[in-house]
């Protein structure tokens, strides 16, 4: 690994690293905030997954999470949202290709060689963090928008790894909305039965294990009606008797102003399950 940035923050360190990913076949950046701790102390980790067009920088510069991570003594890791590089396939649109990995394992050409973000998050990055930083190998996961989709699906598919899940403005039913349908067709093909393994609503309907879930959604989110549709998740949870907390936040939009307003509650939520 190569450290690209280091900033003192609330008694801890906000770092950015670059490493070569075997899974994604390219160089990847990730950010990590490590709060002040005793020399031999091991800390739990919260993984943050960002949304379309974002990279490892958006969360650490806009969310204001470092203060609350320091108070709760948790590490926060925020990776990039997709593989990147001149040799990595891309698309001219913002919602496909680089910056839009959708946290799945692609099986269609030309994406299948590099676009394996699911394996990267669940296995490669987690192993890298545990081997090189003072973690106790206890973790939760959260995210925003397409990253909220990633956090929900990854958490639900791996209840033995993650203790809790939270999301801001997540895409909860990608199989039923334009963002997800476009990405799933490109990455997975037209067989919609394959889409269900990366669809939160479908996973809720099929899941026996119930992880704690917290969701915040702004009422003035421009993507609320067409792309996010939180009512589909609420209905699925009701049908399955799956306990979930979904807060509709009056007046808030899709931006990091929204995330910064409620990130303290999300870190506090996860801390209750990973401490």
Beta-sheet pairing, 12-21 with 26-34: antiparallel
Exposed / middle / buried, residue 237 (Cβ in 10 Å: 0-12, 13-18, 19+): buried
Mean pLDDT of 138-160: 98
Q: For residues 59 and 142, is the Cβ–Cβ distance under 8 A?
A: no
pLDDT band with cut points at 50, 70 and 90 for residue 169 = very high
Exactly one of 50, 82, 145, 164 is catalytic; which is it? 145
Give the pLDDT score at 27.
98
- Which pLDDT does position 63 carry in this prediction? 98
Catalytic residue among 144, 254, 266, 270: 254
- The pLDDT assigned to 199 comes to 98
* Extended strands (E) in the chain: 2-9, 12-21, 26-34, 43-49, 75-79, 135-144, 162-168, 213-218, 245-249
pTM to 2 decimals?
0.97
User: What pLDDT was estimated at residue 5?
Assistant: 98
User: Where does the pLDDT of residue 54 fall: very low under 50, low under 70, confident under 90, or very high at 90 and above?
Assistant: very high
**123-156 b/e with 16+ CB inside 10 Å = b?**
ebbbebbeeebebeebbbbbbbbbbbbbbbbbbb
6 CB neighbour count, 10 Å cutoff: 11
Q: Are 150 and 180 in contact (CB under 8 A)?
A: no
The single-letter DSSP state of residue 123 is: I
At 209, the pLDDT band (50, 70, 90 cuts) reads confident
Contact 28, 114 (CB under 8 A): no
Q: Give yes or no: 119 in active site.
A: no
pLDDT digits (tens, 9 = 90+) for 236-273: 999 999 999 999 999 999 999 999 999 999 999 999 99
d(CA 231, CA 136): 36
Q: Is the pLDDT of residue 208 over 80?
A: no
Looking at every residue in the chain, the average pLDDT score rounds to: 97
Q: Is the pLDDT of residue 31 over 80?
A: yes
Q: How many domains are there within the chain?
A: 1
Q: What is the pLDDT of residue 32?
A: 98
Range of the structural domain that residue 57 is part of: 2-272
Give the integer Cα–Cα distance in Å for 170 and 217.
8
**Per-residue pLDDT reduced to its tens digit, 60-78:** 999 999 999 999 999 999 9
Contact by Cβ (8 Å): 235, 268:
no
Share of the chain above pLDDT 70, in %: 100
Catalytic-residue membership of 145: yes
pLDDT attached to residue 60: 98
Domain CATH number, residue 200: 3.40.50.1820
Q: Give yes or no: 80 in active site.
A: no
Per-residue pLDDT at 191: 97
């Amino acid at each position: 690994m190569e450290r690209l940035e280091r900033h003192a923050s609330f008694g801890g360190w906000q770092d950015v690293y670059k490493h070569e990913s075997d899974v994604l076949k390219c160089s990847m950046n990730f950010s990590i905030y490590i709060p002040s701790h005793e020399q031999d102390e091991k800390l739990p980790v919260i993984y943050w997954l960002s949304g379309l067009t974002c990279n490892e920088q958006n969360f650490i510069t806009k969310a204001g999470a470092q203060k609350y991570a320091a108070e709760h003594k948790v590490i926060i890791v925020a990776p990039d949202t997709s593989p990147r590089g001149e040799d990595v396939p891309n698309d001219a649109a913002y919602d496909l290709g680089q910056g839009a990995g959708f946290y799945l394992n692609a099986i269609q050409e030309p994406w299948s060689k590099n676009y394996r973000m699911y394996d990267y998050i669940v296995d490669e990055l987690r192993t890298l963090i545990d081997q090189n930083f003072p973690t106790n190998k206890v973790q939760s996961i959260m995210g925003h928008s397409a990253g909220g989709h990633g956090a929900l699906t990854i958490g639900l598919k791996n209840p033995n790894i993650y203790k809790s899940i939270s999301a801001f403005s997540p895409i909860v039913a990608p199989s039923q909305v334009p963002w997800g349908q476009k990405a799933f067709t490109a990455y997975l093909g037209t067989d919609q039965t394959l889409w269900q393994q990366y669809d939160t609503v479908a996973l809720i309907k099929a899941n026996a294990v119930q992880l704690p879930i917290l969701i915040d959604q702004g009422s003035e989110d421009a993507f609320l009606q067409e792309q996010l549709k939180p009512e589909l998740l609420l209905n699925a949870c009701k049908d399955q008797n799956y306990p979930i907390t979904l807060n509709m936040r009056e007046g808030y939009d899709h931006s990091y102003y929204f995330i910064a307003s409620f990130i303290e509650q999300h870190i506090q939520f996860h801390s209750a399950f990973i401490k």
